[in-house]
Amino acid sequence: MRIVYLNGDYVPKAAAKVSVFDRGLLFSDAVYEVISVIDGRLIDMERHVTRLERSLGELSINAFADWSTVAQKLVTDNGLQEGLVYLQVSRGVMDERDYRWPAPDTSPTIFAFAQERVLIENPMAGRGMRIITRPDLRWQRCDIKTTQLLYASLMKMEAEAAGVDDVWMTSGDLVTEGTSQNAHIISRESVLISHQLDRSILPGVTRIGMLEQAKSMGLSVEERAFSIEEAKDAAEAFISSSTLLIMPVVEIDGHKIGDGRPGERTARIRQNYLAAVQSDHSTKT
């Protein structure tokens, strides 16, 4: 029986109900986090909590919970070994639909669930991702992890229709990020280039660990936007996210990256990242 968390209670999935007047449903007035689970343990939970609390603050949503305890209990109660925990907080329930939000003391709606997913042995790591580019038409506060995901969903469906794995979104000729991932390249001069943290991209939690591993390997790092042409001319390309971890990109708009196979340095970054998070957790057992 799948157990979910809703407003302080752990209940069977079928018993979890949210009001039709919840602002998360009516206005996407909500934020969320997705935390990886490997070997039954949460990955980078403290960093996810920091980002969640920043998102809540940016939207002036007053919500407090022991986020780590909630997430770990869901992992335990559901016997999850590998996958993710999804955590969402909306501003709460209104008496009537209104663009203006209710009083600051309105109780938020907090729910979370655990979900199985293959993370480590994902076959895509061996073959690489094929990407197409499309204009980035999202709102201009992509640094806040809100539930406004319709455009990202549309782009994922466009990628599926095109027979590829995902979309990298662009502003002019510059790549911002993927539909649910940060985008990176390694130039022919062995420089790892990753978009700077600003309002046009989400500050990825996995991105932090990825950059730590890249620097430990001796790679130079530039945090700036890169163009589509730079990406096509790169030696390697890859993404980072909580659900795909570090994943190579081998094709962009039909153009092969490097020799068209997953890059060796990308593979090392992935391996070193996995080793680091698994070692970190083993020391806490």
Residues with a catalytic annotation lie at 145
Structure tokens belonging to residue 74: 């869901």
- Non-local CB neighbours of 97 within 8 Å, separated by 6+ positions: 21, 26
First-to-last alpha carbon distance for the chain, in angstroms, is 27
Rounded CA separation 106/83 (Å):
32
Q: In what order do the strands lie in the sheet with 82-90?
A: 9-12, 3-6, 109-116, 82-90, 30-38, 41-42
Q: How many CA atoms lie within 13 A of 71 on its CB side?
A: 25
